Amino acid sequence: MRFWADRPLAIKGLVFIAIPLAILFGALASLYFASTAEERAEADVRRAFAIQRDTYQVHALLSQAAAGVRGYALTGQDRFLEPFSVAERELPPTMERLDEAIEDPGVRQEFVVLEQLVDAKRQGLGDIVRVSRGGSDLASSREALEQELNANRDVLERLGSQVDVIQRKEAVLLDQRRERVDDVRSRFLALTGISALLGLLGSVAAVYLFSTGIVRRVRVLEGNAERLAQGAELDDLPEEADEIGRLAQRLGRASALLRAREKDLSESEERFRLVVDRVSDYGIFALDTEGNVATWNLGAERIKGWQASEILGRHFSSFYPPETREFLPQRMIERAIRDGSAEDEGWRVRRDGTRFWANVVITALRDGEGTLRGFAKVTRDMSERRRTEEELRSAREEAIAASRAKTAFLSRTSHELRTPMNAILGFGQLLEIDEEHLETQHRSAVTQIMKAGRHLLSLINDLLDISSIEAGANELAIEPIGLRELLTEAHAIGLPLVEQAGLAFTLDLPEHEVTVLADKRRAMQVALNLIGNSAKYNRTGKTVRLSGRVEGSTAMIEVEDDGPGIEPANIPRLFTAFDRLGEQGRSAAEGTGLGLALSKSLVESMKGEIGYQPLTVSGPQSGARFWFFLPLEAPLPEHEPDDASKNPQGS
């Protein structure tokens, strides 16, 4: 039994199944062979009956055919030939069936004789029919007919005798085959009984093995599982080597492990309770399902001022000010139940009545079945952060007010400066008219006055533009503009400035004409400002390039030069007002430091974007590319973009 108990469950299950199945298959095989033998015996009996039937039919067909032919010979009427026709049609298949059915050697010899007689009889009947139909010599025809009739009568008698011989032999075979069928049936019944008995014994053996090998020990395991659920000691099982034995051993180890884990969990819960109780920066406590305080920690006591004995059992709405106490606690509970947790920031009340700004998170606590067991509430005093935010908000408002005051000051100052500056430029222009009557030194002075006046007027105009944009008073006339038209006009206006710097000025127009939405004067101002910068600061290069192309739903305008470019450290400050980058090395270049800042504001006010990218044609920091986008009025018709348009920043 120990050997059997130690076998794996797979082998035991195989034995449980194999014993009945082997008996079943053996019984089925024996039944199949017995049934097959019975079928063969019955088939032999049916074949004997068929042979007897067909031999009788052969004799009957030939007898009827002979009578019909004799009647035809005597009367000459064709209706007597119908049995002959039937015999001619039915005899060949009947003889073929007999040839296939006869297997006994003795009967086969008699059948050969029968075939010869049948062929002779059929031939004789055919000769009688031919003799009856023909010949003018009646005497000779009758004599021949008489001879044929007599010969066929003898053949028919011999054929009948041969049929009787075959019938007698088949009768003997039929009796033998019937006895064989009865014998097979008797053995079949005996075999069926033996199979049933063996099946019953095999089933009993399998049930016994199953009960002793599995069921009894499974019941013990079931009892141990119940004891495990109750935390009780388990019953010992024999240390058997199959799966149930190993399961019992593992169940015992699991019981010991669970008891150890229960101990660890209890200790962990105690440590967690001590940790939560000692947290002082956060108020962490539990609420029951009605919202009453169930636990209280040191942080909650420090923040809210209540002792545990004073607050336990009270509703947590006691922490809310009167204006929100009636609705906000219940709303928080409902949100936590619906969403799992609810967070809020607002005023809360301490025990002494003082208020503090708190961040509160309430989390619904549910068991494994989803039943609500209560709530966990975490409160943090955010009063200091709120004060800091208020101070930052106040500082931001003051900074905005100062910026607005600066903008207003620049606007008023620019307007005040423009009036005398217009007078200076007006008188200077009058002096320029009479320049030919002035001395050389006076002409130089007038030129310097006009140059300085125009520079100062440009600075005043830029200040007015920036102050208008910052104040939101810059009105733009957004209208459809042809991109090619804009680029061509910018190239024509900027050409003298670039040529004056001794540089070549090239223009690359887009392949397809498109329409952009922009303020034409402002867009031209931005383009000319970028062209002027390239001409002004390109001291080492030879060319300035203006180009435009379509990029998605926008048009990109680029101004490139092959000058020294801009130091990487200065790129983030490019669009800062009054910041002239590298001014110490460019003292000969005039400028106010407002051009790029003004261009950025103008482009962004037209819903565009402006930027810079260094070129690396011949080395580091070689060349510069400024670009800006303007929105298209309508999408461009679908066509395959060229390689240059695939990268909005160029190469």
Q: How far apart are CA 49 and CA 358, in angstroms?
A: 111
Residue 329: give the domain boundaries. 279-381
Residue 214 lies in a domain: no
Instruction: Indicate which CATH number applies to the domain containing 571.
Output: 3.30.565.10
538 domain-assigned: yes
Could you write out the DSSP letters of every residue in 436-447? GGS-HHHHHHHH
Do residues 372 and 403 share a domain? no
Between CA 267 and CA 275 the distance in angstroms is 12
Tell me the pLDDT tens digit for each residue of 99-142. Answer: 888 888 888 888 888 888 888 888 888 888 887 776 444 445 56
Identify whether residues 323 and 420 lie together within a single domain: no
For the chain, what is the domain count? 4
Which of 202, 232, 260 is the endpoint of a domain? 202
Q: Over 50: is that where the pLDDT of 464 sits?
A: yes
Burial 461-476 (b: 16+ CB within 10 A, else e): ebbbbbbbbbeeebee
Find all residues with CB under 8 Å of 556, minimum gap 6, and list them. 548, 549, 550, 627, 628, 629, 648
Helix (H) or strand (E) segment spanning residue 650? none
Q: What is the pLDDT of residues 370-381, one digit of tens each?
A: 899 899 989 988
Residue 584 located in a structural domain = yes
DSSP designation for 381: E
Kindly state whether residue 212 falls inside one of the protein's structural domains: no
Point out the domain boundary residue: 346, 381, 416.
381
CB atoms within 10 A of CB 41: 20
Give percent of the chain with pLDDT exceeding 90.
17
Domain at 122, CATH number: 1.20.120.1730
Q: What is the pLDDT of residue 166?
A: 79
Query: In this structure, is residue 496 part of a structural domain?
Result: yes
- Count of CB atoms situated within 10 Å of the CB of 156: 21
One domain, residues 98 and 81: yes
Residue 211: inside a domain, yes or no? no
Rounded to whole angstroms, how far apart are CA atoms 328 and 333? 9
Give pLDDT, residue 466.
61
Segment 518-528, tens digit of pLDDT: 988 889 888 98
Based on its alpha-carbon atoms, the radius of gyration of the chain, rounded to whole angstroms, reads 61
Contact 89, 58 (CB under 8 A): no
* Residue 460 and residue 589 in one domain: no
* Mean pLDDT confidence for 418-427: 69
Is pLDDT at 307 greater than 50 in this prediction?
yes
pLDDT at 363 over 70: yes
Contacts of 184 (CB under 8 A, 6+ apart): 34, 37, 38, 41
- pTM greater than 0.85: no
Q: Does residue 22 share a domain with residue 170? A: yes
Same structural domain, 133 and 28:
yes
Same domain, 101 and 177: yes
CATH number of the domain bearing residue 317: 3.30.450.20
Which pLDDT score, from 0 to 100, does residue 284 have?
Answer: 85
Q: How confident is the model at residue 233 (pLDDT cuts 50, 70, 90)?
A: low
Do residues 372 and 430 share a domain? no
